[in-house]
Amino acid sequence: TPPWNRPYSAETPEVDVVVSAIVGAAGLRGTWAALEAGKHVFCQARMAMNAAEAGEMYAKARDTGLVAM
């Protein structure tokens, strides 16, 4: 299978960055899971549903030395 046609996830070792385009609670869970898996996260949709959730996400990224934006 060509590398561009393989399924990837936050647990895939060769993945360094996860791009999320999911809004809402599912996007929040996915972003959180990616940070916990040690991946940087770039959100195409809003990162969180409110300022408190965004603050939690920022703190998680900062504490793990990752970028979430």
- pTM (two decimals): 0.76
pLDDT tens-digit map of 4-47: 555 666 677 888 888 888 777 777 788 888 888 899 988 887 77
Query: Which region, left, alpha or beta, applies to residue 3 given φ > 0 means left and ψ of -120 to 50 means alpha?
Result: alpha
Q: What is the largest CA-CA distance in the chain?
A: 42
Res. 1: pLDDT tops 70: no
Q: How confident is the model at residue 66 (pLDDT cuts 50, 70, 90)?
A: very high
Residue 12 tokens, joined: 């895939």
**CB neighbours of 31 closer than 8 A, spacing ≥ 6?**
18, 20, 41, 43, 47, 57, 68
Q: What pLDDT is stored for residue 40 in this prediction?
A: 92
Residue 2 tokens, joined: 């060509």
DSSP secondary structure letter of residue 38: T
Choose between 6 and 59: higher pLDDT.
59
